[in-house]
Structure 1
Amino acid sequence: MKHFLTAFLLLMVCFSGVAQSKSTNILFVGNSLTYTNDLPDMVEKEAKRRGIKVKTTMLAFPNYALVDHLDDGEVQKRIRSGKYDYVIVQQGPSSQEEGREMLFDAGKTLQKLCEQNQSRLVFFMVWPSRTYYHTFDGVIKNHKEAAEENGAILCPVGEIWKANFDKTGDFSLYGLDGFHPSPKGSRLAAEVIVKTLFNE
């Protein structure tokens, strides 16, 4: 009996070690708003700081909308691999009707793929450039509705940016070009993503 209990305890320790070492795998799909400052790497580091193991993969190219990724076909291959717990998708601000339609339509296709391959679809809400700051409410509205329509998780980064801007008048989350994120902006995005996905 004693040997049985010892073996049982050792087995439990082994299983516990396996569970603790499992990483959450995330695929980022987007454009320069994602690869500027290497947001996926920042997400890994922010998660690690909170004691969460995350491994990220990035599929991001300049000026790409989600439809461009779908046209390339690589995103479908990645999702069908079954490797990813979350697929975080991002395109431009999408405040205008054309961008809204692409967000909804591509989201529908991606959501179906994710459902078939045990992944959760996540919309990464971005922001407009400072020049088009007046379109911010449209950006927020379209991302919220696209996520709701497609049964996806929403990381409301843009909404939190706007709240910060409106409260402080500090636009340092933007980089020098007034559109891409500064390192500070990407760090805040990483915090929002980790808090959203892991209920922190």
Structure 2
Amino acid sequence: MQKLLFLFLVLISTYSSIYSQQKALTNNQTAFDVLFIGNSLTYTNNLPELVKEYAISKNIAITTNMIAFPNYSIQDHWNDGQVQKLISSKTYDFVIIQQGPSSQPDGRNMLINYGKKYTRLCKLIEAKLCYFMVWPSLHYYYTFDGVIKNHTDAAAINNSILLPVGTAWKAYSDTAKNNEYYGDDGFHPSLKGSEIAAKVIVDHLLKQ
């Protein structure tokens, strides 16, 4: 009986040691595959490349892939059918979805309802879905709180990662009293705006 108890304790100890090692390996991961799905707010200034560059400064290697078209929503991408094939064909660690500001009810519903579809697909490859929170144009700056709320709610409802670029953007713009994160058209990001977006994205991905 004592021998059996001893063997049982040895097995438990061995399993715990292996589990701890596996967990440590996961937590110490230094290379990630990331898929960006979005529109011109993502491809302007080549945000994925800026993400890769900033990650290097953190000693992290990020490989990126991007599917982004002008004025596209996550619903448009889903209806095209390309994202389903792309996600299913490769094992990504993170899938980042982005659409317009989405401060209005239609945009909110799209973030939530289509986010559910992306979430189900990501689970099949054990990837984590991420919401890239953007910003409104200067003309509609007053809708910023709605942008923040709808992205925050959608991420929470779909148990996804929130990348609060818009929150950081608004905090800086309100405090500094300037609009240097905006490009000349008052909507697309300046290079500095995209660099800040890259920093927020990487910092929040590495927290996971």
Sort the TM-score into its range (normalised by shorter chain).
Answer: 0.7 to 0.9
1:195 aligns to what? 203
Shift of 1:199: 2.3
**Runs of 5+ unmatched residues, structure 1:** 1-19
Given that 1:21 and 1:53 are in contact with CA atoms closer than 8 Å, whether structure 2 keeps it comes out as no
Q: Distance in 1 between matches of 2:93 and 2:85?
A: 15
Letter paired with 1:56: T
Letter paired with 2:157: E
Instruction: Note closer, same or farther for the CA distance 1:134–1:22 as it changes in structure 2 (3 Å cut).
Output: closer
Query: 3-state DSSP class of the match of 2:198?
Result: helix
| Mapped pair 1:61 → 2:69 | yes
Q: Which of residues 27, 49, 56 in structure 1 aligns to 2:57?
A: 49
Shift of 1:180: 0.2
Alignment of 1:176-195 (within 5 A): 176-195=184-203
1:13 aligns to what? none
2:21 aligns to what? none
Shift of 1:49: 1.3
| Mapped pair 1:85 → 2:104 | no
* TM-score, normalised with respect to structure 1: 0.88
Q: Deviations over 1:108-145 (max 9, x none)?
A: 00001001111100000000000000000000000000
1:106 aligns to what? 114
2:43 aligns to what? 35
| Mapped pair 1:166 → 2:174 | yes
CA-based RMSD: 1.4
Alignment of 1:132-151 (within 5 A): 132-151=140-159
Q: Distance in 1 between matches of 2:134 and 2:193?
A: 11
2:9 aligns to what? none
Shift of 1:23: 2.7
Shift of 1:21: 9.6
Q: Distance in 2 between matches of 1:49 and 1:198?
A: 13
Q: Distance in 1 between matches of 2:117 and 2:207?
A: 26
Q: Distance in 2 between matches of 1:184 and 1:164?
A: 12
Q: Distance in 1 between matches of 2:93 and 2:136?
A: 28
Given that 1:82 and 1:119 are in contact with CA atoms closer than 8 Å, whether structure 2 keeps it comes out as no
1:23 aligns to what? 31
Q: Deviations over 1:66-107 (max 9, x none)?
A: 000001111111111232100000000000011111111110
Given that 2:30 and 2:59 are in contact with CA atoms closer than 8 Å, whether structure 1 keeps it comes out as no
Letter paired with 1:178: G
Stretch moving more, 75-84 or 30-39: 75-84
Shift of 1:22: 6.5
- Identity rate of aligned residues, in percent? 54
Letter paired with 2:123: E
Instruction: Note closer, same or farther for the CA distance 1:199–1:61 as it changes in structure 2 (3 Å cut).
Output: same
